Amino acid sequence: MENLSEPKTKTEKSSLEKRNLIQKDLIEDFCKNSEIQDPEERAKCAIDWVLKYADNFDQLDKSKVDEYYRLATSGTEEDKIRKAELLSQIQTSLVELDNKNG
């Protein structure tokens, strides 16, 4: 697992906030798409996602991550549609990275 120590600089904090927000959304979307209703099974789904995809997160296209964060914090209706599209693209990229890196 990665080191989750307290961020020391404002940049590190901002980067960690982005990562946490996006990973939370990715996990929720992934488990929702799996149509899991049981809370215990949803928790297992979230853990499975972290174990499978979290290590590849730093290899994502930074511009997509930044754009998603901007959209996630803006809140307009158009942004919600683009945000959903971008979330799907990011998840696809994570799957491809997992296939490539194992």
Residues 82-99 have a mean pLDDT of 94
Q: How far apart are CA 21 and CA 72, in angstroms?
A: 8
Q: What is the pLDDT of residue 96?
A: 96
Which DSSP symbol is given to 6? P
Position 7 in a domain: no
44: left (phi over 0), alpha (psi -120 to 50) or beta: alpha
Position 2 in a domain: no
Domain limits for position 19:
12-101
Position 89 in a domain: yes
- The pLDDT confidence band at residue 24, using thresholds 50, 70 and 90, is very high
- The pLDDT confidence band at residue 36, using thresholds 50, 70 and 90, is confident
Number of independent structural domains in the chain:
1
Position 3 in a domain: no
Position 28 in a domain: yes
More confident residue, 98 or 76: 98
Position 32 in a domain: yes
Q: Percent of the chain beyond pLDDT 70?
A: 87
Position 5 in a domain: no
More confident residue, 12 or 18: 18
Q: pTM value? A: 0.78
